[in-house]
Structure 1
Amino acid sequence: MKLINKLVTLNSLITGFFLIYLFVGIFSFTDYGISFDEKTNRMNGLVSAKYTIKKLGINVPLGDQKAIPDLYDYKDQDYGVIFDLPMLIIEKLLKCNVKDSFRLRHFFTFLIFFISTIYFYKTAILITNQRLLALLVTLFLIVSPRIFAESFYNSKDIVCLAFFIITTYYLLLFSESFTLNYCFWLSLFTSMAICTRVVALMVPLIIVFVSIQALVEKKYTPRKILLNTFICLSLILFFSILFWPFLWEDPFSNIATVFKNMKQFRWKNSVLYMGMYVPAGDLPKHYIPVYILITTPILYSLFFFLGIGESVIRFIKDPKHIFASKNRTILILLALFTGPLLAIIILDSVVYDGWRQLYFIYGAYLLIALKGIQWLYAQLVKNERIKWISLFVLSLVSFNVCYTIYWMIKNHPYQNVYFNTLAGRNIEKNFERDYWGLSYKQALEYIVAHDSSSSIHIICNLPPGITNTIFLDPKDKSRISIETIDPEKRAQTLPKDLSCDYFITEFRYISDPTPFYKELFSVNVDDFKVVAIYDGKSLLSK
């Protein structure tokens, strides 16, 4: 009876945990602005929708189709649209206005990530068979400030992370059983990850590896392993082409184009990194590892290194059996984490805006951390004489998680600019802040709430300032005339020609608001400015 009561209590705790997270998401998704890429992502969906309905001969009203580029003439034709295309169709079927369409995108981005957290919990149970440890590491995933914020608007990188998490779950199950059921789900979600970021093509390579491992160990008949592996790889190819209209006409040539563009992505701007503006193509190799370490709560990284250390020691002690089935899980996780990092280094790929293009490795990162937690837990349980250490570790984990939650609540909705103490104190001078431009939403809301003028002229640093007027009340929006003058153009313009009512900047590409100098309002996080509004009439003369 006591066991039943414990199980009921634990089940209630787990159910309550996910319900609370769901409600937090439902009540938070409207708080975030429109990010830099969202208009482009929506247009990607429109372009592919135009191509798809024409190709299939179906009728979905898209508005003025002449204003929508043809797929093969479109500069971003190589973007996967596994999220953007269905969202565009849903938006049109529901007859959403522009404001509601972006709200809808934010909600579904969160919903997909929420579902993936359940899969992450299930994956953690597969690894540890301990529900409380699985729940703890799932809490780590949710209480990761940048991931939390971006789970509402980053429909590329967070959706890719979500699909990778689900793929990892089915990959572990398939590697243990080689059944057709897991084969189907693994192929489906692998292809969805590929259609979000093509680097997910590494997963089929891992599938081949676990198949070879199974053949060597003779756990199943060679026929079962080879046949189901072949079916899995074939389905991945089929679903990937099906879900990606750009691949329909010449799949292999077009996938080669995608890889070529991924290697040297067409983004030529500079990034503020360690106090210097560095062209994205010239960023040092340590850019990604450093960004992972300074934007992830330190405790999570400590457990990650503990998991790595425990695995390396185990491999050194028994080098002949590194590739044995007992190490399959950690090898898969290491491949999912290190594979993309090595690919970035070998291909010399262009990365920027922190490590968001590699968010999909974060699931593996935390699951490796879970291995560290599991090892530490086992040591503490075995040694009853060091109970005080157990209490210390429990207190340390509790304090860190609670403090991170407190920080996230205090700085809501600016969790996307989270840095831990490893980043130092001079964030403004060393690293990018709100590169997404989300904070324009709050800056615009501040202006219309504090200025009742019938006509307000605003200059903003970059395009998200204009995009975020979408979320304003129509009456307030009608009072505003807004334009973008980027830092380079601003530097070449006479101050008198920049006169306006307000200048808004999120400090991207330049941390100096010159010629504007009189600050009226700013949002600050940890002693650095996220966004600021300046008096547009007060200008320095050159």
Structure 2
Amino acid sequence: MFRSKTTSAPQWLPLPEEPQGGRKLAEWLFFGLLLALGMLLVADYGVSWDEANNHLNGLVNLKYLASLLPVGEGLRQHPTFAITPDIRDFPDAHHGPLFEMAAVVVNFLFTDHDSRSYFLVRHLMVFGVFVGGVWAVYQLARRWLGSWRWGLLAAALLVASPRFFAEAFYNGKDIVFMACFTLAMHTLARLLARPTPSRALVHGLAIALAAGIRVQGLQLLLFTALGLALTAAAGHYRPQPAARPAYGRMGALVVVAALGGLVSIWPYLWVHSLPKLLDVSAHAMHYPWKFTNLYWGQFYKSAGVPWHYVPVWLLITTPVGYSLAAAVGLGAVGWRWGQALARRVWPAGPGPALDALVATWLLGPIGVVILMGASIYDGWRHLYFVYPALVLLAARGVQLVWCRSRQPGRGRQLALAGLAVFGLATAHTVWRMARMHPFQNLYFSFLSAPAAERLFERDYWGLSYRRGLEWLLANQPTGPVRINVTVPNYHPLYNNSLMLPAAQRHRIQYVPLAEADYFMGAYRWHPQAYPDTLGTEIYTLRVEGIKTLSIFRRPRAGAARR
């Protein structure tokens, strides 16, 4: 039988909020500078493999909307819609369309409709949503760790995560979903702190927002049930419980708001029935991706990767200091819950529920993917939404070490040394990000360049093609540039040409190998060197020593000049 919390029970988070002097100024400076940095850097990134198809998904859904709404015949007959598939025939209509629909509308209203303008605005929108996710991490950490300063640390760790920072400009699926998922976890924390119908409604709509990006956002309903159950149990075991909120009613309101909101923003569910959500979820779990993953030097199908695929990818792409600090934070959460259960003490307040939620947020989805053998590819991007939990735990780990450094005893010097090492390692990560720009998506935390080249796929987004095209156009300033690439690399090559000025785009010709002046080769599925028969390698792009792109002058080009 559990008893109520006593003075002998473990100390639970959150800690008391410290004085707020300087908080508003720090918030404005941090987020203002982050937005300014995004606007400064947005033009440097290429167009990723999926972006053209994602844009088409937005058009498909808007075409269906236009057929239902009184928008005028001129818009219904717009030339773009004439070549846009019907929503019933589009194979990717089950992908959440909310962000893509917004991107199409914003670009239609505010750009000159050139492809470069479209992708610049789209990338700014992705980054803006990412900043919203950083804000949600800040709010969660501020609530959980009891201080806005620790909140800013967690937010800064997310920004100073190389791969996430780069993808915050172009990954309209996983980064946008991560941000929306984190926002929903923030609204859940608010609901647990003060369960009211208005907060339940807002949380349900936040779940709908996340699920409108990826249907996996509906798993937030499980996190909500866990949080409400733990908070209700904490109230039940108090010696003199106050009037407890109707947690069951709060949960029901969340479900109604989430499902109702999702149906209202997803045209696919207007065409099909609500139970189609179950089919969509199952399809997402076992998506029939036709390519392969290069992992540990071997090629695997997306549904056949080893169980350790996600943990390994997470570790090799996360700064080592963050991983170690998160392990400390996770250990503290486990130790505190274990201590409470061993003493048969049920902890009161929302702090323990947040402990459990953050730990489950990190470990639960990874465990489900491993146990169910879900399809996964392109690194671990489909699980990016768990990364904010890792940085929250890392901030908690740093907080623990900092508290220990302020106490007398033999451990004080060790704690101070640990803080110094963490600070230096984080500064080194930021320096590496600046040096790698704009290819932070090729960051490996501790692997050498030869090991990364041999064991893991490189630049699966295909962003390096933009740099290759720009180099070719600069070194052949006039006339057509005839290029060959292997199938299916035509897609990222074409996508990146869309970021070039129109006059430069028109000079690029995609031709068979026998007619090409140049061959452009990437290394996503090609860990070995290209054969000499392709010609002379005239350009090589390396990022921290990792060979990412090669351009060859074809033999026939040299023969023609002679």
Structure-1 separation of matches of 2:345 and 2:272: 43
Residue 69 (structure 1) aligned with residue 85 (structure 2): yes
Q: Does the 8 A contact of 2:405 with 2:413 survive in 1? A: no
Percent identical among aligned pairs is 27
Query: How far has the Cα of 1:250 moved from its partner?
Result: 3.4
Q: Does the 8 A contact of 2:95 with 2:215 survive in 1? A: no
Query: How far has the Cα of 1:86 moved from its partner?
Result: 1.4
From 465, 468, 473, the equivalent of 1:440 is 465
The residue identity in structure 2 corresponding to 1:84 is E
Stretch moving more, 231-240 or 337-346: 337-346
- Which residue of structure 2 aligns with residue 520 of structure 1? 538
* Gap runs ≥5 in structure 1: 1-5, 486-496
From 554, 557, 562, the equivalent of 1:536 is 554
From 378, 396, 401, the equivalent of 2:426 is 401
From 328, 348, 354, the equivalent of 2:353 is 328
Structure-1 separation of matches of 2:428 and 2:407: 30
Cα–Cα, structure 1 residues 39 and 301, in superposed 2: closer, same or farther, change >3 Å? same
Query: How far has the Cα of 1:384 moved from its partner?
Result: 6.2
Cα deviation digits, residues 291-348 of structure 1 (max 9, x gap): 0000000000001111121122223322134675442111111222222112212332
- Which residue of structure 2 aligns with residue 255 of structure 1? 277
Residue 421 (structure 1) aligned with residue 421 (structure 2): no
Query: How far has the Cα of 1:54 moved from its partner?
Result: 0.9
Cα deviation digits, residues 450-486 of structure 1 (max 9, x gap): 1123122011240111121112222222222125x7x
Correspondence list, 1:125-524, <5 A: 125-216=142-233, 217-218=235-236, 221=243, 224-319=246-341, 320-321=344-345, 325=349, 326-383=351-408, 387-422=412-447, 425-461=450-486, 462=489, 463-483=491-511, 497-511=513-527, 512-514=529-531, 515-524=533-542
Query: How far has the Cα of 1:277 moved from its partner?
Result: 1.5
Cα deviation digits, residues 133-191 of structure 1 (max 9, x gap): 22122111000000000000000000001011111111111012112332222112111
Stretch moving more, 10-19 or 252-261: 10-19
Q: Does the 8 A contact of 1:519 with 1:535 survive in 2? A: yes
Structure-1 separation of matches of 2:395 and 2:242: 29
Query: How far has the Cα of 1:92 moved from its partner?
Result: 1.9
> CA-atom RMSD, angstroms?
2.2
The residue identity in structure 2 corresponding to 1:478 is H
Structure-2 separation of matches of 1:157 and 1:322: 37
2:549 is paired with a residue whose SS is strand
Q: Does the 8 A contact of 1:330 with 1:368 survive in 2? A: no
Query: How far has the Cα of 1:361 moved from its partner?
Result: 0.6
1:372 is paired with a residue whose SS is helix
Q: Does the 8 A contact of 2:517 with 2:553 survive in 1? A: yes
1:252 is paired with a residue whose SS is coil
Structure-2 separation of matches of 1:8 and 1:475: 54
Cα deviation digits, residues 2-41 of structure 1 (max 9, x gap): xxxx965554344322222211111111111000000010
Query: How far has the Cα of 1:87 moved from its partner?
Result: 1.2
Q: Does the 8 A contact of 1:45 with 1:81 survive in 2? A: yes
* Gap runs ≥5 in structure 2: 1-18, 558-562
The residue identity in structure 1 corresponding to 2:175 is I
Structure-1 separation of matches of 2:394 and 2:426: 15
Structure-1 separation of matches of 2:138 and 2:209: 20
Structure-1 separation of matches of 2:315 and 2:266: 34
Cα deviation digits, residues 414-446 of structure 1 (max 9, x gap): 000100115774211110111101111111011
What count of residue pairs does the alignment treat as equivalent? 523
Query: How far has the Cα of 1:199 moved from its partner?
Result: 1.8
2:484 is paired with a residue whose SS is strand
Query: How far has the Cα of 1:395 moved from its partner?
Result: 2.0
